Structure 1
């Protein structure tokens, strides 16, 4: 479209080039014509001057002689010949004072002669008369030459010659038509050359300028239509080629800028943040869709307005002062406003305002990015509450307590911490449910809050902490003791929970420290003291001491080292023999020992209780089971019919994988399961009785034997034992120790033997250390196990003793 307009536009470059060429040709032709005419004019003047001089020279000599000789006839004849010349009009002879002496014809005397004399150049006449040289002048108005021919005549007086001048008019003819007729061939040749040069110049301009410009315009038009700008400069090094290259770069850069601008515009329009642009005076020039949605105004209602339209007068003046201070300094500013939308609903808004500058660096506009953070602020407050407060009681939590301790330490104050734990909370939850239990915790929290303690925190579940601060240790001890007594006294008052008057007790652990102990350690010490009270039955208080802390640390370090020991295979299997009633080897009990790389052999009395309190006991049981089953498989392959007893923790029995752990080993080693005896304590009868019996029955169906270890010392129930798939009872060594000297021990063991025989169970006596005890076992038909027979030995040493002939 643009190129078509260029072709038809009367101001187009192509038309202008054509007009310039035509005008130039016309001007050149006129110049050539004028040059020819000028040359012809010059040549005609030159010819006239030569002819005048030639006639004058002939006439001067002839006329001068005729005058000296007084030959009037000759004079008249000369004048007649001059007058007869086709271009000589008038012939007059005058004196040096310009007085007419004679003429060829009387009509040239008088007024006509005076007309001629009136047009004479007196100076030229005098000069010609005095010098004796011919002279002429051209009278342009009459297109004629006046010729001055000086004549010398005989002197009238002696020594004084008389001077005369012969004048005649010579008509000058300058015929330009004739000149053109004589030079038409030259003009035609010049016209042909000019036309050819014009056409060549037209073709060159067309090819090198007009067409490339047309292509350039077409390429620009394609860009305008959304097409790609494609053009190849004809001459890249020429000015037009460089211009095309520059335009191409400019168009490419513009297209890239437009793409980026479209992206930016799309981002701005699709942004969830409200965006507005104002001029330097604060007049709104632009708003995006998000701002329209945020404010409730239409675009037309915002354009031309001031951002004060959103204000509520609730934003502090200091905020505006800080904003303008930053913007006037040319810096971006971010802050919060309390604004309102069109409906008058207020919201909290975070806004970032940045100045925009022109190419000279002057601020021309401001751009503001607005976001409604009302929900964000509410969420932040909620998160802050969740981070620092307990949801159930709305009391500060553990994190808030630690921060409060840190603040007190920064102030170099003495801190005392009371850890308060509700006794038997698990029993309450199991009996009445967690909803009831939560109400108990809430009521207990309100009771503690009524004490107006310095700082009360709920650590979760049934544990609370009271932070006390004093200036010295004596005052702090007194304050801790008084607060603990208040807590115990408050616990004696019933809590009203769902119309129940519930009295709860609590265990208190007290830790007193200074700035040398961090908050976590202070809390740990109070918790350690509270656990001591718990183990002692609860409903009491205890102060933390270093012995308790060291014992807890030892247990922690032992657990950590035992976990590594299991991974590094530092455990060893030991065996202790079991003899039947005839005193023959009937089996052995598998025992675990820990060969620590630095501490040496560690007694199971140190690490087994630690394992029982953690999940390590299951891993430990599985290790002993695997080693024992592998050993049993070797014995059975050798044809040895011996039993191997393995102690199993009640936690392992209650574990979901207990049965699969045993069956996997039976399948792996292809064992006769009757040789494997699993020793369990009476603790399995305390919790989860039915599930434990079911698991034991499943394994018993495969042939696995079960034994009750340490029988008589724990929770003994003959009805449960009757229902258990048990084949063996192990009498605790505390009863065997008094045999045969103490009648009570003998009576107790005799009773156990009677019960076992009634139930058809095998009896094993533990702790047989004397010959009398061993003889008692054989006499009563008991299996014997103890130091009298042998001490626990490593597997290799045990097999060497009992299997070597």
Structure 2
């Protein structure tokens, strides 16, 4: 908005300028022709007055072709020119001419703005000054003219400021109104496209507005909903009490919220979270807003999540968490009953764990889809086999638990009840009909371990859920160890065995770390009693328990994987022993046992090669012994490793020959140099019995392949005579010649021990 007289003002808008030019030009035209009509003769004034018509036409043309502001400028300057012409050769009244000048100043000020009015004023005053200087006017008339123009300029300025102020306010109001309209349109669009159903309901309870989501959700068109009661089409799931509570809440200014099962147009039901809020106009309650969100899927998801917390998604059986809660409840009931009666519990419960035999092999052979179908079939079968009151749960991938409440009034009775159920299950679980890509009957077997509770084990104060599960796990492990399709009950002896197993495994870790292992050797002698070689044996010197038998810790090392670092330690000690001067001088060979797990390690060949290079051992004096179980894995990979080590000079021997299940065709392909007959053959050997024939057969196989033979477990002199009669080059190993002794002791007493062996023969 202009702040001073000289500040620019653009005048009226283009549309208003058009009306001003039309009106001004017509009046100007009429005035000119009126002047012409008043003249009696056709002189210059008459022609000038008649020229007002073409001047008006030209103004109209400029307005249409260019702009009406240009037309206003043309009209103003044309009028100045006409006034100047008439005034210069005037026989007319000067006052009328000057009045035209004032009118033009006012016209320009209004239509074109204050700056245009100022310019027109200067032009008019300049014309008057020229007329005074040419004695056409007097200075008094100049002063009157100037005063009049100045006065009107001031009036124009004041009015223009007021007009422009009002115009500015109107423009601002229009902008605010336009902004409000845009916001309202945006809000309307957001509400109309909202995924939630939105309705506006009047105080009479009838719908005034419903967005698209409501129409889509409920199947109504907008025309069908508007004017109908909300209780019929929107919140028809409200009960009478809920409706009354909602009205009270909203009328008091609060927001009512709830979850309703509303009915659509087609009669189907939708579960919605509903929020109803009051709307005020001028401080008075005018309507309500209903906002509804479909929560059917969310509630179903929440229910499914809650289901998965307690049930297995595959078999629909209770899961391990639900099983634990049941056990805790039963134990709590027993403790409460015991405190109330102050006696031992008279009610015992039983828990069985059923585990599928060879499930991993089935999964590897048939795939996860078939395995899932198998587990579903087993779950269904278990539900039909156990009593209705029994609780069946899936605890792990292929394990199921069965809890029998009130199995008996004594521990023995409940154990018998559990064993009877386990036996029935084993008899019934022989085949399963699997429904996957058709129906297939699959033979199965299960291992079952069970325990009873509440039972307080020695060293514990109370029975607990984890103790029950542990006891069942221990019993199941024992059943699986006995073979497929076995049952085993928990006993304290099993717990002691499992505890001892953990102790040995933990102690073996410490033995490897702190150097508690010792290397022992046992001689291998020929028919003359001369030491031809030795077998290296590992012993565990426990700090508190002394020497622990390898029969106890070797199987645990195999099971836990500790056999690999244990075997690496033995090989390193054997290589160090082979570098000893006495061993070198005697030309002894050393044999070391290698487990299948250790030999199957991908870097076994590279590690042993590096060890031989580091110690500088003659590899031909090292013999690696392995059992036939090694050949049950990838035989081609085994042969490649043996060939690689044989190229270094390492020799191989098959330990416990004849006790395994390997094919003789495989044995013939192996680069072996020695076989060791198991001590069970030697112990039961009788020349005329089947055992003797078996030993002779082994000797014949060895001779056909030019292999050395070592007989283990030789404890009687008669055994050596028979063996040497059958095979003079045979080597004997056993207590008859020497027990295993520490390697360091053997190095000290080498000569003495050799003499003793010769004397023995």
Same fold per superposition (TM over 0.5): yes
Closer, same or farther: CA 317–683 of 1 in aligned 2, 3 Å: farther
Q: 1:365 to 1:301 in 2, by over 3 A?
A: same
Q: Identify if the C-alpha distance between structure 1 residues 721 and 495 changes in structure 2 by more than 3 Å, giving closer, same or farther.
A: closer
Among 453, 458, 469, the alignment partner of 2:405 is 469
Give the secondary-structure state (helix, strand or coil) at the position aligned to 1:342: coil
What is the CA distance between 1:524 and its match in structure 2?
2.4
Structure 1 SS opposite 2:220: coil
1:610 aligns with 2:532: no
Structure 1, gaps ≥5 residues long: 19-184, 226-250
Distance in 1, Cα, partners of 2:410 & 2:743: 59
Once the two structures are superposed, what CA deviation does each residue of 1:254-296 show, in whole Å capped at 9, x if it has no partner?
89x959x95x777655554434444555444444433332222
Please state how far the C-alpha of 1:485 moved relative to its aligned partner.
Answer: 1.9
Match of 2:350 among 401, 417, 421: 417
2:378 is aligned with 1:445: no
Q: Once the 2 structures are TM-superposed, how far is the Cα of residue 696 of structure 1 from its aligned partner?
A: 1.8
Q: Provide the residue aligned with 1:295 in structure 2.
A: 218
The answer to whether the Cα contact below 8 Å between 1:580 and 1:586 also exists between their aligned partners in 2 is yes
Alignment root-mean-square deviation, CA: 6.1
Closer/same/farther in 2, CA of residues 725 and 661 from structure 1, 3 Å limit? same
Segments of 5+ residues of structure 2 without an aligned counterpart are 1-9, 21-105, 111-138, 338-346, 434-439, 457-461, 751-761
The answer to whether the Cα contact below 8 Å between 1:287 and 1:303 also exists between their aligned partners in 2 is yes
Among 272, 279, 284, the alignment partner of 1:350 is 272
Pick closer, same or farther for the CA change 1:601–1:503 going to 2, 3 Å: closer
Separation in structure 2 between the aligned mates of residue 738 and residue 455 of structure 1, nearest angstrom: 53
User: How far, CA to CA, are the matches of 2:674 and 2:402 in structure 1?
Assistant: 52
Partner of 2:451: 510
Choose the corresponding residue for 1:708, options 640, 654, 661: 654
CA distance in 2, matches of 1:642, 1:307: 103
Indicate if the aligned counterparts of 1:571 and 1:593 stay in contact, CA closer than 8 A: no
SS in 2 for 1:400: helix
Q: For 1:285 and 1:562, how far apart are their aligned partners in 2?
A: 82
Take 2:239 and 2:264, find their aligned partners in 1: how far apart are those partners? Answer: 19
Of structures 1 and 2, the larger Rg is shown by 1
- From 731, 734, 737, the equivalent of 1:782 is 731
* In structure 1, C-alpha distance between the alignment counterparts of 2:588 and 2:734, rounded to whole Å: 14
Contact 2:539 2:548 survives alignment (8 Å): no
Q: Please list the CA deviations of residues 101-121 of structure 1 after superposition, one character each: whole Å capped at 9, or x if unmatched.
A: xxxxxxxxxxxxxxxxxxxxx
Task: Name the CA shift for 1:749/1:799 in 2 (closer, same or farther; >3 Å).
Answer: same
Which residue of the other structure, out of 629, 638, 644, is the alignment partner of 1:696?
638
Cα displacement (A) at 1:602: 7.4
Deviations 1:289-348 (A, max 9, x none): 33332222233433444433446966666665665566566554544322233333x233
Map 1:190-229 → 2, pairs under 5 A: none
The CA deviation string for residues 131-158 of structure 1, in whole angstroms up to 9 with x for no partner, is: xxxxxxxxxxxxxxxxxxxxxxxxxxxx
Deviations 1:429-473 (A, max 9, x none): 599975795586256414424x22332334356543232334x98
Is the alpha carbon distance of 1:305 and 1:717 closer, same or farther for their aligned partners in structure 2, counting shifts above 3 Å?
same
Paired residues for 1:589-600 under 5 Å: 589=536, 591=538
Shift in Å at residue 694 of structure 1? 1.7
- Alignment of structure 1 residues 110-509 onto 2, 5 Å: 258=183, 262=186, 271-279=194-202, 282-310=205-233, 320=243, 327=250, 330-344=253-267, 346-356=268-278, 366-390=288-312, 394-411=316-333, 412=336, 416-421=349-354, 424=357, 426=359, 441=378, 444-449=381-386, 451-459=387-395, 463-470=399-406, 474=409, 478-479=413-414, 481-489=416-424, 491-492=426-427, 507-509=448-450
Q: Distance in 1 between matches of 2:332 and 2:280?
A: 52
Shift of residue 509 of structure 1? 1.0
Question: Deviation of residue 517 (structure 1)?
Answer: 3.5
Quote the residue 1:4 is aligned against: 13
Relative to structure 1, the CA distance from residue 313 to residue 732 in structure 2 (aligned partners, 3 Å threshold; closer, same or farther) is: same
1:625 and 1:211, CA in 2 relative to 1: closer, same or farther beyond 3 A?
A: farther
CA separation in 1, counterparts of 2:449 and 2:164?
Answer: 101
Structure 2: distance between partners of 1:361 and 1:725: 103
Aligned to 1:649: 595
* 8 Å Cα contact 1:418/1:480 also seen in 2: no
Q: What TM-score do the two structures reach when normalised by structure 2?
A: 0.58
Q: CA deviation at 1:702?
A: 1.3
Q: Secondary structure in 1 aligned to 2:602? A: helix
What is the match of residue 532 of structure 1? 478
Cα pair 1:588 1:645 within 8 Å, conserved: yes
Q: How many residues align?
A: 586
SS at match of 2:470: helix
Q: 1:750 to 1:715 in 2, by over 3 A?
A: same
Q: TM-score, normalised by structure 1?
A: 0.55
Are 2:225 and 2:233, in contact at CA under 8 Å, matched by a contact in 1?
no
Q: Residue by residue, what CA displacement relative to the aligned partner does 1:666-694 show, whole Å, maximum 9, x if unpaired? A: 56568587666443333346xxx3x4322
Distance in 2, matches of 1:335 and 1:799, equals: 90
| Residue 604 of structure 2 is aligned to residue 681 of structure 1 | no
The answer to whether the Cα contact below 8 Å between 1:279 and 1:366 also exists between their aligned partners in 2 is: yes
What secondary structure, in the 3-state scheme, does the structure 1 residue paired with 2:655 have? strand
Counterparts of 2:471 and 2:326, CA distance in 1: 17
Contact 2:628–2:654 at 8 Å: present in 1 too? yes
Q: For residues 545 and 254 of structure 2, what CA distance do their matches in structure 1 show?
A: 67
Helix, strand or coil: the match of 1:703?
A: helix
Which whole-Å CA distance do the structure 1 matches of 2:320 and 2:629 have between them? Answer: 35
Alpha carbons of 1:421 and 1:258: their partners in 2 closer, same or farther (altered >3 Å)?
same
Write the distance in 2 (CA, Å) between the matches of 1:319 and 1:599: 78
1:390 and 1:460 in contact (8 A); partners too: no
> What is the SS of the residue equivalent to 1:308?
helix
Q: CA deviation at 1:634?
A: 8.5
Q: CA deviation at 1:782?
A: 1.9
- The separation in 1 between residues aligned to 2:463 and 2:276, in whole angstroms, is 49
Q: In 1, are the aligned partners of 2:522 and 2:738 still within 8 Å (CA)?
A: no
Distance 1:427 1:275, change over 3 A: closer
Q: Deviations over 1:509-545 (max 9, x none)?
A: 1231279444343222223223333434576654434
Kept in 2: contact 1:332–1:355 (CA 8 A):
yes
Match of 2:741 in 1: 791
